[in-house]
Amino acid sequence: MYFIANWKMFGDLRSLNSLDKVIKFSKSNKINKGRLIYCPPYTLIRSFFKKFENCQIDIGGQNCHESEIFGPYTGSVNCRMLKNIGANYVIIGHSENRKNGENNKLINLKIKNALKAKLKVIFCIGESLNQKKKNNTKLILSKQIKVGLNKIKYKKNIFIAYEPIWAIGTGIIPKPKDLFDTVKFIKSKFKDKSQKVLYGGSVNPQNINELKKINNINGFLIGAASHNSKKFIDIVKKTYN
């Protein structure tokens, strides 16, 4: 199981102290075969990398520029730069970035360049509440997958993160059967039956007992709850209890 902490726009150097509990936990046998991955803001990636040097916790970026070379893109960071400072993963296609103008073709270019840079990709897909009400979930997900992964043959280093937009930050999660069926549908889009699909959207210690029962999910993308080390650890613990 993969547990990915997406810190979004949160944290500063003082936040590093809060990671000591997670580091200690990662070295215990309570984690089983779980993989912990932190995706902090760009400003903290190198500090996190150094903090996690003596444990198995990995690092990722929250997004990247689509250019694989350096260029005149003020305020941007590309995949080569992420890899250079210690990241091994990158989140691409998050709905918050789609809302700001990212389309499927741009996401496809980002994924291609991330893979070239030897980064593993956490590829976010998901439908809005309006799309869900119109029963267009499968149509939307199919398009996001088809265009987002166009002409990408080797998908072993791509993790699909299903994040229904209507669940993010709302405290609402899909009904168990709906989520199982949606994850099953996503996996059916891939020839490789070992394709990993994660769930994200209001994952917290209160609902993880319900989410862990959905046995076709390979992990979780965790937002606000991951800011608090105790909550993040509780999510991992409860997944295996």
Residues in CB range of 148: below 8 A, 6 or more apart: 93, 104, 107, 108, 111, 123, 125
Dump strand ranges (E) for the chain: 2-6, 35-39, 58-61, 89-92, 120-125, 158-162, 197-200, 219-222
Residue of 94, 96, 102, 127 marked catalytic:
94
In this structure, is the dihedral angle defined by the CA atoms of residues 197, 235, 82 and 106, taken in order, positive or negative?
A: positive
Q: Is 53 a catalytic residue?
A: no
d(CA 15, CA 27): 20
Calculate the CA 157 to chain-centre distance: 13
State whether residue 11 is helix, strand or coil: coil
Q: Is 163 a catalytic residue?
A: yes
Contact 132, 113 (CB under 8 A): no
Catalytic center residues: 94, 163
